[in-house]
A = this chain, B = another copy of it.
Amino acid sequence: MLQFRNDYSTGAHPRVLEALAATNLEGNVGYGADPHCARCAQLIRDLCQAPQADVQFFVGGTQANLTAIAAFLRPWEGVLCADTGHINGHEAGAAEATGHKLFPVSAGLEGKLTPEALAPVLDRCADPHLVKPTLVYLSDATETGGVYRLAELEALSRFCRERGLLLFLDGARLGSALTAVDNDVTLPDLARLCDAFTIGGTKNGALMGEALVLCAPALQPEFFRVKKQRGAVLAKGWLLGAQFQALLEDGLYWDLANHANTLAAALQAGLAAKGYAMRPVTTTNQIFPLVPRALLEELDQVCTYEVWEELGERTVIRLVTSFSTTQAEVEGLLAALPEQR
């Protein structure tokens, strides 16, 4: 069975495993206060050209998102997000369970937010009988494979600063976004434009892990207490620092993301050549071909995938590549699928 269901169905890149193994018996202080985390945090600050940033490692993305929302917001504040945003549709109400309302905004096929889409919600919520939206949550890459252009992020950042909003970017697939062919955003751009963002490890070569970069100094004090309160402090914290160190110190992180993107692009091109439409076309490691419903049963024998949306006679499915996807798997899937004419 070919694996295209998601980018977290295999473990870690061998170099990450080696780095982990090297720490195994060295003896480290717990809770992330170890030298691995300290060195890796400094490396991330350097890569981001953000000497003032604090870096906090998390095991998973929902944990990072809910801790950030709990820590950043006051009780009367809420979150603007895409209707397709992960926090709105895939985290079992984790944000609301911290007491905060989400304001999902229609974000189109690519799942991208714009100042134009956000402004009317803000205006409406000037009424003090409503929750006050004060944080914008966006994902890059988006949940539907979209990539923010630098000009788009700059416009959002400017809008947020003018309107007193925090800008938080969920980078669960940040590697894929920043290595996409149409990307023009860098880590220093993110550190400059966002108040906080994550660098996702789980979906790009780590066993597990998200690095949360707290760019805004105001968000840093006592953050650790909230993290602890949410059960998000890993006892053997160095497991996260060591993995990110292995991924980021020699650029392995970008190589792996580029690998996944390249194979996704090949798969997308191959499917298009066979007559499959995409919804939408992407440049990252998730692709969304339309498949005749009758083909699904056959497809079930060939590969894993996710059903995304029913669209008349056809189904949008999601196929995802990862650091461990092989050229042979892509070719195997293309070979197995019939032409659509």
Q: Are A27 and B8 in contact (CB under 8 A)?
A: no
A61 to B128: give the CA distance in the assembly, Å.
17
Q: Are B24 and A233 in contact (CB under 8 A)?
A: no
Across the interface, A130 reaches (CB within 8 A) one of B28, B89, B234, namely: B89
Q: Are A100 and B96 in contact (CB under 8 A)?
A: yes
Binds B, one of A69-77, A108-116, A263-271, A333-341: A69-77
Tell me the interface secondary structure of chain A in the complex.
loop
A204 to B183: give the CA distance in the assembly, Å.
45
Q: Are B8 and A236 in contact (CB under 8 A)?
A: yes
- Say if the beta carbon of A12 comes within 8 Å of chain B: yes
Q: Are A129 and B90 in contact (CB under 8 A)?
A: yes
Q: How many residues on A have C-beta within 8 angstroms of the other chain's C-beta atoms?
A: 75
Q: Are B100 and A234 in contact (CB under 8 A)?
A: no
Binds B, one of A45-53, A139-147, A220-228: A220-228
Give the chain B neighbours of A92 by CB distance below 8 A: 76, 128-131, 225-226, 228-229
Q: Which of A84-120 contact B (CB under 8 A)?
A: 89-94, 96-102
**Contacts A10-B25, A12-B24, A324-B25; A75 near B97 (Cβ below 8 A):** yes
A90 to B231: give the CA distance in the assembly, Å.
11
Give the chain B neighbours of A25 by CB distance below 8 A: 10-11, 324
- Say if the beta carbon of A316 comes within 8 Å of chain B: no
A231 to B128: give the CA distance in the assembly, Å.
13
Number of copies of this chain that the complex holds: 4
Give the chain B neighbours of A17 by CB distance below 8 A: 21, 24
**Contacts A9-B29, A78-B93, A93-B101; A225 near B60 (Cβ below 8 A):** no
Give the chain B neighbours of A93 by CB distance below 8 A: 76, 78, 99-101, 130-131, 229
- Say if the beta carbon of A332 comes within 8 Å of chain B: no
- Say if the beta carbon of A157 comes within 8 Å of chain B: no
- Say if the beta carbon of A235 comes within 8 Å of chain B: yes
Partner-B contacts on A (CB < 8 A): 1, 3, 5-6, 8-12, 14, 17, 20-21, 23-31, 59-67, 70-71, 74-76, 78, 89-94, 96-102, 128-132, 202-203, 207-208, 222, 224-226, 228-236, 239, 304, 324
